[in-house]
Structure 1
């Protein structure tokens, strides 16, 4: 029997699923995760992406045993993984234009939290826990975590999590807006898949445009006139799609629209 891969990619019915089978990020895990995320980003048929880990953990960040070995044997190489793996992984998330749903079954810590926040919608089990962990081992954050924490929570809450190492239970994460939904422990993956499948059956071009708008708005510093002009361009493009025409017709006929993704 062949050994289970560290990360897997499966696509069916417009939904691409990325599964992280090992919670700690060894070099092997990071390389395989990067590969499957790039598959998801490059797919021309996926209309949504689901990213999941295991029941016990979504991802707990760097494998510290492996890190300690490298730190002892070749300290100058110990942190090259940030540019070699973490940055490309986060960029691969960013390159996925369709909606990304993240299912979180348990611990979501360090770079794992950075990866989860790189998604668009997060469904968590009640047992899930969220933390930064970096300062606890004498490091600042990587994996885009600080930037995305500030966007999700505001600077005060982000500072609290980063400096004090605050761990958030799932319900508290929901209250603060870190996750979208909290469900029973045995139902988290089913619910995340349900949401992802719903998005995969939706108006894909509109979702892609909506993600682009939200990203532009969250970056800050954009001139309002520029953002308004971008909105007008996007609406002109979407107004010519079959999904838009079909949805308008369905609304007028009191029917449920069916979206092809065009």
Structure 2
């Protein structure tokens, strides 16, 4: 199968998935979201691939949701059900990656912003380039943190730190992300993918059935209440996005 913004390289039980939209710092528009969801689903019944590395291009992982893409907010001619379905695209993307039976390792360079952090949170391990930073700016544009990311973030860093990350919209450098448990490894700039591949190769060497059973057991334990906490986050985003502060914030963002 051919992909528009994704390349897949396979090597000895490892798949390296590189997403590169080639514009707007790899921002997620609906087309990229749908494609990345399909990529994940293509691995669900794959018995040959034991681990998957997910990376952006050499300069950046993702700048988050593409708020300038007209399909993100244009609702003319759409039914309420169609609009609601579109708001849930990101959550379905992250669920598709979280539910993969293979071990997933994310390699991030440059930046991972908003949705660009939500997707890595759905994967097993995260590797960050030394100069890469995290940034969750949703509140600044009048939105809640969506894509089922809030419970995943809270599970990793605890409630107080999750509130600080989401509410204060502070940029987080790699050393702090490692200290807070958001990433598992920090690599030299340009080497995040290499480190991620190394982790994936080590996982691929382990007995495949045992690895899959342990991943399922850990995920089911850690994520038991995730749906209860975030099942309506897309509905909340739909509501919040139509409020005056969010509308004004997006106008400012678009002009910038």
TM-score category by the smaller chain? 0.7 to 0.9
- Give the conservation status (yes or no) of the 8 Å contact 2:120–2:126: yes
Name the Cα RMSD after superposition.
Answer: 2.3
User: Which residue in 2 is equivalent to 1:241?
Assistant: none
- Give the conservation status (yes or no) of the 8 Å contact 1:49–1:100: yes
Matches within 5 A, 1:10-159: 10-22=9-21, 23-67=26-70, 70-71=73-74, 80-83=85-88, 85-159=89-163
Distance of aligned partners of 1:198 and 1:167 in 2 relative to their CA distance in 1, 3 Å threshold:
same
Residue by residue, what CA displacement relative to the aligned partner does 1:23-52 show, whole Å, maximum 9, x if unpaired?
Answer: 111122112111111112231211111111
Which blocks of at least 5 consecutive residues in structure 1 are unaligned?
222-262
Q: Which has the larger radius of gyration?
A: 1
* Higher relative contact order, structure no. (Cα contacts within 8 Å, ≥ 6 residues apart): 2
Query: CA separation in 1, counterparts of 2:111 and 2:98?
Result: 23
Distance of aligned partners of 1:173 and 1:69 in 2 relative to their CA distance in 1, 3 Å threshold:
closer
TM-score (norm 2): 0.78
The alignment covers a number of residue pairs equal to 218
Query: CA separation in 1, counterparts of 2:3 and 2:95?
Result: 26
User: Which residue in 1 is equivalent to 2:231?
Assistant: none
Cα distance, 1:169 vs. partner?
A: 0.3
Instruction: After the TM superposition, list the runs of 4 or more consecutive aligned residues in structure 1 that deviate by more than 3 angstroms.
Output: 67-80
Distance of aligned partners of 1:168 and 1:64 in 2 relative to their CA distance in 1, 3 Å threshold:
same
User: Which residue in 1 is equivalent to 2:229?
Assistant: none
Residue by residue, what CA displacement relative to the aligned partner does 1:195-235 show, whole Å, maximum 9, x if unpaired?
Answer: 112211222222212212222331357xxxxxxxxxxxxxx
Distance of aligned partners of 1:49 and 1:4 in 2 relative to their CA distance in 1, 3 Å threshold:
closer
- Give the conservation status (yes or no) of the 8 Å contact 2:131–2:189: yes
